Amino acid sequence: MQKKHILFLAAATLLGAVAVNAANDEPIQPIKPPTGVNPDMAELGKKLYFDPRLSKSGFISCNSCHNLSMGGTDNIPTSIGDKWQEGPINAPTVLNSSLNLAQFWDGRAADLRTQAGGPIANPVEMGSSHTLAVGLLETIPGYVREFKKVFNKSKIDIDQVTMAIAEFEKTLVTPNSRFDQWLLGNAKALSKEELAGYQLFKNSGCVACHNGEAAGGNSFQKMGLMEPYQTANLAEGRAAVTGEDAERFNFKVPTLRNVELTYPYFHDGAANTLSEAVDIMGRLQLGKKFTREENASIVAFLKTLTGDQPDFKLPILPPSTDRTPRPTPFK
């Protein structure tokens, strides 16, 4: 075992030596800073993202389940929504979600704008409706003025709400991870063990699904290729969207960016640690049993994918007026 691990480290040293010119040939590419963002719309979207008044109870915001201080998720197996209901699936990270080919585990939303309207009207999540949410915003003078400034329309509608939230979410990318620094030519950014883990990650076939800027998020794959995945979770994956039985348990491949922060793992939140997740993925998807040393090397590599977290001031939300409907407390 030890000799094999030493060979991994030697191979990693060689890999690091050619890093400067090899970035373009790597299956994972550096994350780029966001471009083309409308700053006024994004600022409005930031307020909406953090505003719990969009929920029926007045206690749940987008940030409740996609907490930007917790890797863009909530670190529990499935989220808690309106009236303390437990959601059916693990909350995917919002960080780098603009790089996904679609939104939600089953891809039922084509883009961030479509996704943003879903939780507001979901009775298990925010428990409100688009009509109620828009009606409430129209009673808050600060929002009325800001929506008019951004969209140049006299009336607020749900399309404006979701467009603004999506514009803010476009800014939530996490560049400058140590792995990105290595890709861009800093040969000292990664340790020998981390480079060995990346080499093993590539050679084992993990990059077939986890590739591109987000190291995932760009395809749907079956959970349990080599052996069935045992879970009590009833989510059907893409089959719930397409109606095709062949797509049962096909889920969007999650991004591995910031993965050390986004535990627990998988659509059911069943894996509590990265070591456990690597072991399960190796067996189920690759038919491979990683040794303890191999597992540790891959985990070390995965931790280098943590980038710069979103850095901004929390918004000051427009104050309500006496005409603003009172939130319904949790029961």
Query: Domain 39-170's class?
Result: mainly alpha
Residue 245 per-residue DSSP state: G
Q: Are 109 and 117 in contact (CB under 8 A)?
A: no
Q: How far is CA 179 from the centre of its chain?
A: 18
Residue 237 forms beta bridges with which residues? 250
Q: Are 29 and 179 in contact (CB under 8 A)?
A: no
Q: How far is CA 59 from the centre of its chain?
A: 22
Residue type, 242: T
Residue type, 119: P
What CA–CA distance (Å, rounded) separates 195 from 198?
5
How do residues 111-169 score in pLDDT, each as one tens digit? 999 999 999 999 999 999 999 999 999 999 999 999 999 999 999 999 999 999 999 99
Q: What pTM was estimated for this model as a whole?
A: 0.91
Q: How far is CA 169 from the centre of its chain?
A: 11
Give backbone dihedrals phi and psi of 249, rounded to 5 degrees, phi first: 65, 15
Residue 316, pLDDT score: 96
What CA–CA distance (Å, rounded) separates 65 from 125?
9
26 catalytic per annotation: no
Annotated active-site residue in 26, 43, 125, 167: 125
- Portions of the chain given CATH number 1.10.760.10: 2-30+176-305, 39-170
The dihedral through the CA atoms of 189, 276, 263, 88 has a sign that is positive
Residue 225 per-residue DSSP state: S
Of 54, 201, 46, nearest to 137 by C-alpha is: 54
Select from 1.10.357.10, 1.10.760.10, 2.60.120.260, 3.20.20.70 the CATH code of 2-30+176-305.
1.10.760.10
Query: For the chain, give me the number of helices (H) and strands (E)?
Result: 13, 2
Per-residue pLDDT of the chain (331 residues; tens, 9 = 90+): 444 444 444 444 555 444 444 567 999 999 999 999 999 999 999 999 999 999 999 999 999 999 999 999 999 999 999 999 999 999 999 999 999 999 999 999 999 999 999 999 999 999 999 999 999 999 999 999 999 999 999 999 999 999 999 999 999 999 999 999 999 999 999 999 999 999 999 999 999 999 999 999 999 999 999 999 999 999 999 999 999 999 999 999 999 999 999 999 999 999 999 999 999 999 999 999 999 999 999 999 999 999 999 998 999 999 997 555 555 554 4
